[in-house]
Structure 1
């Protein structure tokens, strides 16, 4: 079994003697070396072999590079992108991740789209029982290149619509806001190696809200998806978050607690995925400047091919069947009601429409397993 794993191109065993350390920054290769601010002259984020059966991962609080880990058969796989993990058995979608993303805007417990593959955030300090450490190169699984223009862009909305597949591929996650497509343009245009993003400029809707929940409740076929009772799971997460907040003595508001402890770290991780592709880094900063939300990027009057509302309805006919018939149930009459509810809730964000489109791209172009159905 070991020989089969080692023979996969891009799978690199990292032998470490007991007590030895490996600087994580040294595993990253960027085209623009000088932009590696997090790992410049004094790398400090390490993996150390504690003994023959465990590894200690310590990330500095300034570590801004995307990093994932996956444990199977006493092997600890680590890598900076999610797609390579498909080649070593992590090919199932985590439905809990999707539910948490839908109803809260972030995942807890460092979940990712792939079941049992966890994110590592700045300042994380974890000990993992494993006998082998294996680094996964990007070459392990080539992405299908979802960068072709869907239409010849004539407007800002059409240009951003064209970016949805590419950004979904980079994040390897559905996302619910046009902000991420806008940011992907911004990071390319930025000449500095570090891009500071004001917290006030991030999407505002996170944490459980009845209006947000109503939108997704309307899209799900029933109260149970993939054997998970939606109401029970969402209530459980909501209770856990509130309990954690109460344990702090309620010194902050619940919104601030969720933002600082969950939403900002999760969002920063996603933004740095996009930044790392350009050899850059993102830092979240406090800012009093409010993002201008006067004009919606996508509107109900957009041309059909670049209308996210109509595209949401087309998913039922032409998209991934598991998404449109099992996870959601969105035939035109039902999706029309969801769109009206979404538009009333947040006409400038269209999060369920963008969310469904980006998840559909991933399910149709990658060999992801969902329930008992393999992505079409």
Structure 2
């Protein structure tokens, strides 16, 4: 069992290894008891925050506050006269079954001019937590908690969560996840979204940006308005992808049981595993949408003289598995994985 002193040391060392914290004479530590069945909301208006899970079994929240920069030197003199100097202390409060931790907050006029706080937070192994950031970067490392992270502008990096569902919502910036075991819900309005090797069910909602997935998830659902997709989902059994416009390369494996790919005007290349067995149905509306490199079969007209076309083929001897593809004005290309790049 780790002592409180050792926990603080490990937390600090981890933060330094991530490049999150720098040596500082300011460093302060705080500990607050958190009653069981109490939810915690953490507000970090500006700065960088590392979050890990306790390993000592204590129902306690610990904060390692390393750096606070929430006011410009150029404005401090006038603020001392008016008394408008923001506090450098975190605010902790509990009301009923809800607790709130608010980090030192810059004045609105300084929000984009200062670096804010650099801190590491250690949470009890049980409970539900919500992290809210404005101009903030949030790092999750080896967590076991149920976490909801919302950031207006910044990046969220989550790695190696052994348990707990994690939901991440970023307005503008980036989301990076790796080796997550629990269920993942990732929402990004604009930026880059990346996952590598996560095993839990994965839901992705991306408005505009690049999607890079090398996923180990068995269930994967994607909704994207526009952008570029590079998806490796060879472990996936249930796969859905709704890309309105843009381009996509999707690599599916032999374990796929049910797949659905829909596009309004995107260009989608689907790489089907050579040993996958099942039925493929592809449909297009505007004509000449479907290119088949899996076999010699060609799309056929659905209702001549309309331009609607349909391709139906079976690969192997397991028609219970099915992959459906449909597009309105985009393109669908089907090919074996070994044909990629040709």
Query: Could you state the TM-score of these two structures normalised by the residue count of structure 2?
Result: 0.26
Higher relative contact order (CA 8 A, sep 6+): 1
Give 1 or 2: higher strand fraction: 2
> Which has a greater percent of helix?
1
What is the TM-score of this pair, normalised by structure 1?
0.24
Instruction: Answer with 1 or 2: which has the greater Rg.
Output: 2
